[in-house]
């Protein structure tokens, strides 16, 4: 059975990692390319709404052009952030339940939608990867099927593999991912995309590319003979020679012709096509690109007019391209501006350059550059020809270099955080502690409980009692540690072991992840007390905690309040943290004395401590009548007693100290009832007996948080 479980685990863990990579990278890439070009995503949104007959984002929207623009851009940026951050947290294994849940919900929405798109084909492609990678609607549907299966698998088994980052700082890579993708989105919106996946890249010769669109590919036939392969032109293929075997047919563009790029660059002056006139003109030609006259942003008119005046002085061309040339011409005339306006398809204008308006420059069919008006320099300061200005050069778009830089900006900080995460955790904890101390100093004693932000720890502590040989105990401790390494628990986990186990287990496990506790210590410093173990001896083993006042010690060994007071003082003097047990027996509860008994146990053994010493005390309420009997206090009974205990502490040390005190429940807590018990606001965990001797049961209680 154990071997079968180990084999299954060996299969599941690599599968989880693979699914994290597939789902995470897909969402990351999808969010990234959308973030690089949010205007392109907004255009795709409009295309969807037009195709589906929904006029909210169409030019005829009753809500107006401003709303359409704001809504579509906001939705595009929001979608890119959602996909990118979700991909990041899945890839890094963060939020191991929430992230797969969101991925599954997303895919359950997207997969039926893409099936509809594949069947009805209302749009050419879904645009899931923008213009970086164009998939057919059927390819997108099949891709979504794979992602859906992988996301469901992660939802079931993601907890089997631990996070890349510690839980206390997982918000840092998440926040960094949000800031990163938001930044590149805003840069693309305000200026131009940092990476250009569109066909109209700076430096392209539009005229040559369009001339190549009619060039047909050559077909090369591959045949094999005597183990050797040879290529033949179509008219040279050995079709009738049976000694040759056909292998493949290759489609190849003629030499000197690049891969075909479809461009729809077309300009009309009323009904006259003037595309070739513009592309063949060897003079510098400035283009004012206005995809929508209604949404035209005239705040940059001064810069545009400066460029027009410069072009006029140096006899350069200056044209405005827009879907409705007459409307734009009339609007410009109202503002006292007059230059030629020609007609071009809105989608082509938006494909060339994002923004409304945008500026581009051609010469001999070569696209020199395309920019947002805010990037346009003040041309009034230049008297020379354009070659002597920054606008006279082709803005080379080094795609590979830009991609490497943009990715490194994201990857390097995450690698640094991963390597230094423990130091970062310590720094964060110090900052929190400093803020808490300042808060304590400023609030004095008039602190209202309902306004206190609770900082107390959730704790699950195991109490092995007198069980397990040394070898069995070490194996159990290793099992608990291994199980913790597969999770990111929302609580501190402690194991309380017999004295004989302490030194070995404390040296075997990572005590930063798994606390080690003694089950008792003597009320004497040292001396002739045969069989006793002092607090100093416990501390010397590497243990950090000690359990004191357990009902079995009180009942079987006659430990009184005074004895326990001495034990607590000696434990604290040796820097041990004390898990102090309190609780009533059945007769006391039936007599209605449970609150009186518990209060006296706390007062008589602990209320001599200072507030500073109290910070090292963890209380454990154990209704004695529920220990080992199969009975359990109801969630309401547990909450009632825990609230009373906290109130008792508040009366002595103040409400703020009481709110910082962890109070555990210790009466037959099991995986089946732990979640309900821990849901109570004053129950901060459990002191677990029998269930702590089984890794699976113990982890079931840990997982209740």
Note the pTM of the prediction, 2 decimals: 0.56
Residue bearing tokens 């410009």 = 332
| pLDDT tens digit sequence for 254-310 | 555 444 445 788 899 988 999 999 999 999 999 999 988 877 877 888 888 888 888
Tell whether the model's pLDDT for residue 652 goes beyond 60.
yes
612, 622, 637 from 631: Cα distances, Å = 36, 12, 12
Tell whether the model's pLDDT for residue 6 goes beyond 80.
no
Q: What is the pLDDT of residue 449?
A: 52
Active-site entry in 588, 622, 655, 660: 622
Residues 351 and 483 placed together within one structural domain of the fold = no
Number of domains in the chain: 4
Q: Is residue 204 part of a domain?
A: no
| pLDDT tens digit sequence for 190-205 | 888 888 887 888 888 8
Residues 569 and 627 placed together within one structural domain of the fold = yes
What is the band of 182 on the pLDDT scale with cuts at 50, 70, 90? Answer: very high
Q: Could you tell me the CATH number of the domain that includes residue 549?
A: 3.20.20.70
Q: What is the pLDDT of residue 438?
A: 53
| pLDDT tens digit sequence for 474-488 | 999 999 999 999 888
Residues 348 and 482 placed together within one structural domain of the fold = no
- Check if 550 is active-site: yes
Partnered with residue 462 across adjacent β-strands are 495, 688
Residues 457 and 506 placed together within one structural domain of the fold = yes
Q: What is the pLDDT of residue 442?
A: 41
Owning domain of residue 246 = 218-252
Q: Among 368, 396, 424, identify where a domain stops.
A: 396
Residues 147 and 225 placed together within one structural domain of the fold = no
Q: Is residue 489 part of a domain?
A: yes
Active-site entry in 397, 501, 550, 642: 550
- Check if 640 is active-site: no
Token pair for 393 = 């050069």
C-beta neighbour count of 227 within 10 angstroms: 5
Residues 382 and 476 placed together within one structural domain of the fold = no
Tell whether the model's pLDDT for residue 217 goes beyond 90.
no
Read off φ and ψ for residue 362, nearest 5 degrees: -120, 155
Residues 488 and 632 placed together within one structural domain of the fold = yes
What is the band of 447 on the pLDDT scale with cuts at 50, 70, 90? Answer: very low
% of the chain residues with pLDDT over 70: 89
Q: Among 190, 205, 233, identify where a domain stops.
A: 190
Token pair for 361 = 């420059």
Read off φ and ψ for residue 164, nearest 5 degrees: -75, -30
Tell whether the model's pLDDT for residue 99 goes beyond 70.
yes
Residues 240 and 332 placed together within one structural domain of the fold = no
Q: What is the pLDDT of residue 192?
A: 82
Taking the CA of residue 397 as centre, how many other CA atoms within 13 Å lie in the half-sphere pointing to its CB? Answer: 19
Among 167-181, 258-272, 420-434, the range with the most confident prediction by mean pLDDT is: 167-181
The rounded Cα 12 to chain-centroid distance in angstroms is: 22
How far is the C-alpha of 65 from the C-alpha of 62, rounded, in Å?
9
Q: Is residue 5 part of a domain?
A: no
Q: What is the pLDDT of residue 9?
A: 62
How far is the C-alpha of 83 from the C-alpha of 87, rounded, in Å?
6
Read off φ and ψ for residue 665, nearest 5 degrees: -100, 135
Residues 332 and 474 placed together within one structural domain of the fold = no
């Amino acid at each position: 059975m154990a071997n079968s479980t180990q084999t299954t685990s060996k299969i599941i863990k690599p599968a989880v990692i693979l699914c994290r990579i597939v789902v995470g990278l897909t969402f990351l890439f999808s969010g990234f390319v959308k973030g690089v070009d949010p205007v392109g995503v907004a255009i795709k949104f409009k295309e969807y709404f037009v195709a589906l007959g929904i006029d909210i984002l169409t030019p005829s929207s009753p809500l107006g052009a401003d709303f359409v623009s704001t809504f579509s851009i906001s939705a595009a940026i929001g979608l890119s952030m959602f996909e990118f951050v979700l991909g990041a947290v899945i890839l890094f294994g963060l939020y191991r339940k929430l992230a797969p849940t969101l991925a599954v919900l997303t895919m359950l929405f997207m997969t039926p939608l893409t099936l509809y798109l594949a069947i009805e084909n209302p749009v050419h492609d879904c645009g899931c990867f923008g213009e970086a990678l164009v998939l057919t609607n059927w390819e997108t549907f099949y891709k979504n099927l794979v992602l859906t299966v992988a996301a469901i698998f992660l939802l079931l088994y993601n907890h089997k593999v631990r996070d890349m980052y510690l839980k206390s700082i997982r918000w840092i890579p998440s926040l960094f991912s949000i800031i990163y993708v938001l930044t590149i989105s805003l840069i693309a919106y305000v200026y131009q995309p940092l990476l250009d996946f569109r066909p109209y890249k700076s430096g392209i010769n539009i005229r040559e590319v369009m001339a190549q669109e009619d060039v047909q590919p050559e077909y090369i036939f591959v045949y094999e003979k005597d183990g050797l392969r040879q290529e033949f032109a179509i008219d040279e293929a050995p079709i009738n020679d049976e000694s040759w075997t056909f292998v493949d047919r290759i489609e190849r563009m003629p030499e000197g012709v690049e891969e075909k790029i479809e461009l729809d660059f077309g300009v009309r002056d009323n009904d006259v096509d003037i595309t070739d006139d513009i592309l063949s003109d060897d003079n510098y030609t400035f283009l004012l690109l206005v995809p929508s006259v209604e949404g035209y942003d005239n705040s940059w008119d001064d810069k545009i007019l400066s460029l027009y005046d410069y072009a006029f002085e140096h006899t350069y061309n200056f044209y405005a391209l827009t879907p409705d040339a007459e409307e734009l011409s009339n609007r410009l005339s109202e503002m006292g501006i007059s230059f030629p306006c020609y007609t071009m398809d809105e989608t082509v204008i938006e494909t060339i350059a994002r923004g409304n308006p945008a500026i581009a420059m051609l010469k001999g069919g070569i696209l020199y550059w395309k920019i947002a008006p805010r990037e346009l320099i003040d041309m009034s300061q230049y008297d020379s020809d354009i070659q002597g200005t920054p606008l006279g050069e082709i803005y080379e778009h080094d795609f590979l270099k830009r991609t490497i830089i943009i990715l490194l900006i994201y990857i390097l900080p995450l690698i640094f955080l991963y390597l230094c995460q423990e130091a970062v955790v310590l720094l964060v904890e110090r900052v929190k502690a400093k803020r808490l101390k300042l808060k304590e100093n400023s609030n004095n004693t008039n602190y209202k409980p309902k306004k206190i932000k609770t900082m107390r720890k959730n704790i699950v502590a195991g109490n092995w009692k007198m069980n397990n040989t040394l070898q069995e105990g070490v194996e159990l401790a290793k099992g608990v540690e291994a199980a913790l390494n597969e999770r990111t628990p929302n609580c501190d986990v402690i194991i309380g072991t017999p004295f004989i186990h302490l030194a070995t287990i404390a040296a075997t496990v990572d005590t930063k992840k798994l606390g080690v506790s003694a089950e008792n210590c003597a009320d004497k410093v040292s001396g002739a007390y045969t069989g006793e173990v002092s607090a100093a001896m416990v501390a010397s083993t590497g243990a950090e905690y000690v359990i004191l006042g357990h009902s079995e010690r009180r009942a079987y060994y006659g430990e009184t309040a005074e004895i326990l007071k001495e034990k607590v003082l000696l434990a604290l003097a040796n820097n041990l943290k004390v898990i102090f047990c309190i609780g009533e027996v059945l007769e006391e509860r039936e007599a209605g004395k449970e609150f009186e008994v518990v209060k006296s146990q706390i007062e008589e053994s602990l209320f001599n401590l200072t507030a500073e010493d109290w910070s090292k005390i963890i209380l454990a309420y154990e209704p004695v009548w529920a220990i080992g009997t199969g009975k359990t206090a109801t969630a309401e009974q547990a909450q009632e007693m825990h609230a009373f205990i906290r109130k008792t502490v508040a009366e002595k040390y103040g409400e703020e100290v009481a709110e910082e005190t962890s109070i555990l429940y210790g009466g037959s807590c099991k995986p089946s009832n732990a979640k309900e018990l821990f849901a109570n606001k004053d129950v901060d965990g459990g002191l677990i007996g029998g269930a702590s001797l089984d890794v699976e049961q113990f982890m079931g209680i840990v997982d209740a948080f």
